[in-house]
Amino acid sequence: MQIWWLDPFHGGSHAAVASGYAAHSAHRVTLITLSQAGGWRWRMRGGAVTLARQVAERHDTPDLIVTTDMLDVAAFRALTQRQLGQVPLAVYFHENQLTYPLPPGRKRDYTFAWINFTSALVADAVIFNSAFHRRDFLAALPAMLQRYHDYHELQTVEQIAAKAQVLPPGLDLPPLPPRPPRNSAAPPVILWNARWEYDKQPQVVMAALEYLAAQGINFRLIVTGEHIDPTMPDLVAARERWQAQTIHWGYAASRAAYLQLLQQADIVVSAAIQEYFGIAIVEAMACGCIPLLPARLNYPDLIPPAWQGDCLYATDDDLPAALARLIAKLPELRQRDWPALAAPYRWETLAPRYDAVLGEIGAGKGLR
């Protein structure tokens, strides 16, 4: 089957999923992409026009089109109706603009949430990256539709739900060497591999480190996430505060360097208020890290119920004590097979599942 994967915001996890699937699929997957340079708002507004022009210049026709939540599918369908009107189209939701948490003081622009809604309504199939994300989006739709004074069209929520499926993002990981034995007397290495942004709550993680220091608990630190603005005062202050404990601070120079850093760490910590799947956490577990995560978002679905008491904490205020308890249990927790939790998400395992689901959609069998 010939698949066109349209990616109007090709970077980060969006690019990783598109490129990873193309590399591992048994189908013929062609990536048609736009860079992130224009910003996500402009891609959601204008990407459909540019991608419609680009596909109009092609001389072939796919069996299936897959695109992402960053495309205005309704506009794209209208612009390509003559050429591609009979080709099934699936939209993959990495995130959505209806439930994505906003920074303090910012009001939600429902223009973009509405684009997500109409895209899901127009698409032949809707794919979410987690069951949590599917529930979250569908549960929020009625309130948005009822913001308007009439014609709420609430039946559309069930129409979207009926064609909604879940395919988690794949991990493109090389075979990893065994982790060297840990010196039980050495300070634990704490990893934070999220973006330094409000939705990942770096201040909550830094407060937990202050608690460890006040309790006299030694630790080493690896901070390797994207820093949009490396001059942010709180980031600069944190880097200076933990300089003596820091093994590495900053975006890794390469994928291989990033994985090597993950293999040096013992514990990966999150305090995120936005995480529709959790790729960075699963990557860390693949490298043997023990996760400590808030009991919200998609995180509970990543951890077996029997292990959640050690790995999940209830509120942000609970993180410091939970981290101290986890460190105290580190010798015991190291005996668990953390990479096994990540194994189902490797592309070698997931690609056949994608092939089967997308094959059915392309053949019209997955359409409702």
Identify the pLDDT of residue 231. Answer: 86
What is the CATH T-level fold of the domain 2-170+346-362, as seen in this structure?
Rossmann fold (3.40.50)
Identify the pLDDT of residue 212. Answer: 98
Those residues of the chain that have pLDDT short of 70 are 365-368
80-135 pLDDT per residue, tens? 999 999 999 999 999 999 999 999 899 999 999 999 999 999 999 999 999 999 99
Residue type at 122?
A: V
| CATH 3.40.50.2000 domain locations along the chain | 2-170+346-362, 189-345
Question: Exposed, middle or buried: residue 320 (CB in 10 Å: 0-12, 13-18, 19+)?
Answer: buried
pTM of the model: 0.95
Q: Is the domain defined by 189-345 classed in CATH 3.40.50.2000?
A: yes
> Among all chains, which residue has been given the structure tokens 């493109």?
172
Identify the pLDDT of residue 368. Answer: 47
Question: Exposed, middle or buried: residue 331 (CB in 10 Å: 0-12, 13-18, 19+)?
Answer: exposed
CB 62 within 8 A of CB 35: no
Identify the pLDDT of residue 184. Answer: 81
> Among all chains, which residue has been given the structure tokens 């507004």?
45
322-358 pLDDT per residue, tens? 999 999 999 999 999 999 999 999 999 999 999 999 9
Identify the pLDDT of residue 77. Answer: 98
